[in-house]
């Protein structure tokens, strides 16, 4: 396969693994932030191929997984209002909330539609002028510019029936919060490639300089990940943490200025509610006051009733923070499976529990 086989070359992977095993002497705890990396690491058996003193932990890099139950309750309550069409990416539909899920709400009569981009949501709004079309904006800095563009387009077209509920999350603040909590000691971080393509490598400089943690940005093919781990091990062994980009074909130091401008033309930095962490200042994006007519939180009166409750026994919040693994959860692969998920970490294609379930997490 053109441009992909080169990053899956077995002999090159073996050489990288041999070098890691030869160079690495110190115990090392590495966390991959991104759910895409979690899947790649499990799919290609990378955890099992590394020396046993290199421990791999999964972080909070699954947008669906970190969406708080209270926010899901709000989305479902909104879907039950008359004349409302909810549009969302597919993974979100099956995530359980306190009382239901979007999938169940749709079965009960709510108009909830899966879309593949905001272009689809805008088209639904154009074709249904008598309905109120709400796009549920989840994701990190990767998806935020595209969702911002949809608001700008709706304003340009003078669409009066298109809204966004912004549940966006910012990645550097939560990384800082995880380290400040002291719950998980890390020696190195595999940083998210797609996010970094937007925000730039320089956005992460605080990790090696303030926290003394080895740091490298990775792509998503097996050789990308192995090369990134190789760079982290060199930093750990030398005692010289620094900012490295092991994904330079995509990530630039300054990121994508056009996408960043688009994002901050529409959104302000705001508090955000993270599953397993709580409300964190400066870790989310809210639609600017001058664009409030597109802000679902401002336009609709959303009454959720009783406070949100987390699923009994679910350890998704702890898994997100890297303080436990899915196999330590009593529900894992028993009452909680991809067909009947208890928590979102088993729902999303980027969820840590789903990766363990599909690709052999029992080999811990």
- Strand runs labelled E in 169-222: 188-191, 214-218
Q: Which domain holds residue 324?
A: 316-363
With a cut of 50, say whether residue 364 has pLDDT above it: no
With a cut of 70, say whether residue 5 has pLDDT above it: no
Cα torsion through 288, 291, 292, 294, rounded to 10: -120
Residue-wise pLDDT for 296-354, tens only, equals 999 999 988 777 777 889 999 999 999 999 999 999 999 999 988 998 999 988 899 99
Cα–Cα distances in angstroms (integers) from residue 59 to residues 30, 37, 78, 353, in the given order: 10, 10, 30, 12
The answer on 338 and 283 residing in a single domain is no
Question: Roughly how many angstroms between the first and final C-alpha of the chain, as a whole number?
Answer: 32
The answer on 358 and 244 residing in a single domain is no
CATH number of the CATH domain containing 41? 3.40.50.11740
The answer on 340 and 248 residing in a single domain is no
- What pLDDT does residue 100 have? 85
Lowest mean pLDDT among 236-245, 256-265, 353-362: 353-362
Determine the distance from the C-alpha atom of residue 187 to the mean position of all C-alpha atoms in its chain, rounded to a whole number: 21
pTM score:
0.91
* Phi, psi angle pair for 325, to nearest 5°: -115, 155
Rounded CA separation 289/216 (Å): 37
The answer on 329 and 245 residing in a single domain is no
- What pLDDT does residue 97 have? 86
The answer on 76 and 43 residing in a single domain is yes
The answer on 265 and 356 residing in a single domain is no
The answer on 266 and 162 residing in a single domain is yes
Total domains present in the chain: 2
Q: Is 136 within 8 Å of 87 (Cβ atoms)?
A: yes
Please compute the mean of the pLDDT values over residues 67-88 and round it to a whole number. 95
């Amino acid at each position: 396969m053109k441009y992909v086989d080169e990053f899956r070359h077995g002999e090159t992977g073996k050489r990288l693994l041999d070098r890691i095993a030869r160079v690495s002497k110190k115990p090392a705890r590495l966390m991959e932030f991104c759910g895409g990396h979690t899947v790649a690491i499990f799919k290609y058996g990378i955890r099992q191929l590394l020396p046993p003193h290199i421990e791999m932990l999964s972080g909070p890099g699954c947008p669906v997984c970190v969406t708080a139950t209270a926010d899901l309750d709000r989305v479902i309550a909104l879907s039950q209002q008359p004349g409302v069409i909810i549009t969302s990416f597919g993974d979100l539909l099956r995530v359980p909330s306190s009382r239901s899920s979007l999938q169940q709400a749709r079965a009960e009569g709510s108009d909830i539609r899966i879309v593949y981009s905001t272009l689809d949501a805008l088209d639904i709004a154009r074709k249904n002028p008598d309905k109120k079309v709400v796009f549920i904006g989840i994701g990190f800095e990767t998806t935020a510019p595209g969702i911002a563009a949809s608001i700008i387009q709706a304003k340009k077209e003078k669409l009066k029936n298109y809204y966004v509920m912004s549940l966006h999350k910012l990645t550097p603040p939560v990384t800082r919060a995880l380290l400040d909590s002291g719950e998980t000691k890390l020696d190195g971080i595999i940083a998210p490639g797609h996010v970094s393509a937007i925000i730039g490598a320089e956005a992460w400089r605080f990790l090696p300089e303030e926290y003394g943690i080895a740091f490298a940005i990775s792509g998503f093919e097996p050789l990308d990940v192995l090369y990134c781990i190789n760079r982290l091990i060199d930093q750990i062994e030398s005692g010289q943490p620094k900012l490295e980009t092991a994904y330079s074909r995509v990530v630039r130091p300054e990121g994508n200025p056009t996408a960043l401008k688009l994002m901050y033309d529409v959104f302000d930095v705001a508090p955000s509610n993270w599953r397993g962490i709580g409300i964190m200042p400066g870790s989310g994006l809210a639609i600017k006051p001058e664009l409030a007519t597109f802000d679902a939180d401002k336009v609709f009166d959303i009454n959720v009733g009783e406070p949100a409750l987390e699923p009994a026994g679910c350890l998704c919040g702890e898994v997100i923070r890297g303080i436990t693994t899915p196999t330590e959860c009593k529900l894992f692969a028993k009452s909680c499976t991809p067909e009947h998920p208890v928590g979102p970490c088993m729902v999303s294609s980027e969820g840590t529990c789903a990766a363990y379930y599909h690709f052999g997490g029992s080999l811990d």
